[in-house]
Structure formats: C-alpha cells, structure tokens
Amino acid sequence: MEADKYFDDALQLFTSLPSFKTDVLLLAGRLVHLNTPSEALRNLFLPALSHLVVDKNNKQPGLTIWYAEGKNLAGKLNAPPWAEFNAQGYNASNENGDVRVFFQPWQKQVFLYSKSKQTAIYWVDTVSDVPWWEVTFSFRIIFHFWSYNLPAQLVHAGAIANETTGVLITGPSGSGKSTSCLNLLKAGYKYLGDDYVWIEFDETPVVHALYQTAKIEADNLRGKFYDWMPFIKNSQTYNDEKAIFDIKELFPQQWLPCITLKAIVLPAIGKRQYSSFHNAPPSKALLCMAPTTLHHLPHNRDISYKKLSYLSSRIPAYTWMLGYDVQNFQSSFHNFINNV
C-alpha cells in the first residue's frame, strides 16, 4: 500500500465522524486546529498547549490535527503496512513522498502527516496506551513534520529570558539543561521551556514557548524542587515516570510566549565551586543541539540540520561551566544575560 492511500483511508475515518471538538491554537502567528471526538485524549494532550488556545475564527488553519482512540472510529486503523521502522519510528521508504509516517512497532500509536493537505493524524488504540511522556510534548512529531516547509524548527533546548533578552540553553541529556532552566525560573527569570522550544527564523531568530510542561526526575525533585511537590500533576505515578508540572500555572508571572534570541548557552556540569561563562565556537553549539534533536525527530534530518546550522551561525554561543555554589550560579547568569 502506498503511503498516500494509507493516509487517505485513515483521514476518511476521521472526517466522517458525526461530531468532534475543535480547539484552535495560535503558534507564531499561525493557526492550528485540533479536532477530536475523545474527551479523554483532549484532557491528556491539551494542557501542555493550553497557553496557545485562542477563540475560534473563520480563517484557514495552517495545520489541522485529527486525533482519536480506536473506539471513536467507525472502522479499524491498521498498523502501517511497511517493515523496518527503526527505534526512532523512522522508515526511509516514506521519506520522499507527500506523507510522513512515525511509528514505533512496540507502541499502539501512529503519527501521520500530509504536506500537501497540511493535515495530520494521531491515533492510539486506547487512552491507556498513550506513553506518559507524550502528554508533556503533545504532538511533537507532528509539529516537526509541519515545520518542514516553514522558516521554523523544533529544537531540543530550553529558553530563559529577562525583560529584553532571550537565551537558548541546550545540550545532551545529563548536561544540566533542564535543571539550569528550572533553577533560573526559581530565581525569577522568564520561562519559555526547558525541553523543546519552537524557533522562528526571522531576521533575528525568535524563540516561542510551545509547551508549558516541565518534567523532573523524582530524586532531583526531592533534592532541589521539594517545594513544588504539592503541584505535581501525576502525583500517583511520578516515582516511576517523572514528575510533571504546569509551569504557567505554577509561575504565571514568569511565563513568556516569545522573545528574540541573543545567545546560545551550553551548560557543562563539573566538580567546581564557581560558575563561569566562556566563548564557544558555532560548531560546538551545533553539536549540542543537533544530535538529540535529530535523534528524537528523525524525519527531514537534512532540512533540520541546515536550520540548526543556520541558527548556530547567527547566534553567539557560550559554554556555561556550572558550579555547585548556588548564589554564584545565579549571579554568573545575571551578569551574563545583562551584558550579552
């Protein structure tokens, strides 16, 4: 079966639904329609994106996402009929056509996107089959597919700002990226994300807050963010997953929808007392952004790599040698962001 037919057959199951709920998002000036007949899925996926919700209007959306669980549809959506999807949900045989398919065979969920229709589909067998992490970056794969023809890119990074200056904080897992972002949030800085953010390539790149959720490992939570314990969204399961927080709810005055980027910061954990900033070459910034971003988002890698290369060439990069002195950690960043 061709990917186009597989997509069209799936789309027919959704567009023939007798009723569904539509939520309208506004992301970087573009409208996104989320259509679903499943209130249970809506309750799972919408919270991470609820800061983007706007009133309905009659303008044509730039992206339409249909999502449902199996019981909502009149017919059965079969698993993608192609072999050799890799661990990242990628199958090279569908890379050059109109339709993109993301499918990990051990999971009961499928992501589809048609470039020509600017329409996407998310299907899951049952609500209980949704992986816990999926609701912290709702439709991440679909937003990545959509960005193919846009001057935009999803980036595995956090973003922190003061009133005038935005800083992208990026690095591989374990580099201190998320913890640094959340500690700076506690210190009073503006927050746009700590895991994935949306970059628009204007004359000067602009970072947009795509998700308002944060994830913290249980040990890190108890050690550094204990006062956040009453606000955990998954209080029954966080020890086996990660603790999930709604940052806009927790820090409403420090939420920021977008800001111009002035620097890329590359945190580095080490056994030192004091934190310090040092100039870093564009190649180092690229090596901190690209591997994990492209690992999580395996489609369109050539296009995404070019966008990340452009970003690293336009924005100066700095290594942030992280020390364990908390006051110095904060003061070093304060001095940096006010002088960058």
Q: Write down the pLDDT at residue 116.
A: 96
The DSSP H or E segment spanning 105 is none
Q: Six-digit token pair at 315?
A: 């924005």
Domains and CATH numbers, the chain: 3-150 (no CATH), 153-212+255-337 (3.40.50)
- The DSSP-derived string for 177-207 is HHHHHHHHHHTT-EEEESSEEEEE-SSS-EE
Neighbouring CB atoms inside 10 A of 132's CB total 15
Q: Give the separation between CA 110 and CA 89, rounded to whole angstroms.
A: 9
Query: Buried (b) or exposed (e) across 289-307, using 16+ Cβ within 10 A?
Result: bbebbbebbbbbeeebbeb
Q: Write down the pLDDT at residue 96.
A: 83
Positions in the chain short of pLDDT 50: none
Q: Strand, helix or coil at 282?
A: helix
Q: Write down the pLDDT at residue 63.
A: 98
Q: Write down the pLDDT at residue 241.
A: 94
120, 63 contact by CB (below 8 A): yes
Q: Write down the pLDDT at residue 283.
A: 97
Q: Write down the pLDDT at residue 168.
A: 98
- The DSSP-derived string for 19-78 is --EEEEEEETTEEEEEEES-HHHHHHHSGGGGGGEE---SSPPSEEEEEEEGGGSSS--P
206, 315 contact by CB (below 8 A): no
Match 């949704």 to its residue by tokens: 130
- Predicted structure pTM score: 0.95
- DSSP β-bridge partners for residue 35: 22, 66
Q: Give the separation between CA 246 and CA 275, rounded to whole angstroms.
A: 29
Match 């050539």 to its residue by tokens: 302
Q: Write down the pLDDT at residue 75.
A: 93
Q: Write down the pLDDT at residue 173.
A: 75
Q: Give the separation between CA 321 and CA 49, rounded to whole angstroms.
A: 33
Residue 16: CA atoms inside 13 Å, Cβ hemisphere, count?
Answer: 9
Pairing of strands 196-200, 152-156: antiparallel
pLDDT tens digits along 31-51:
999 999 999 999 999 999 999
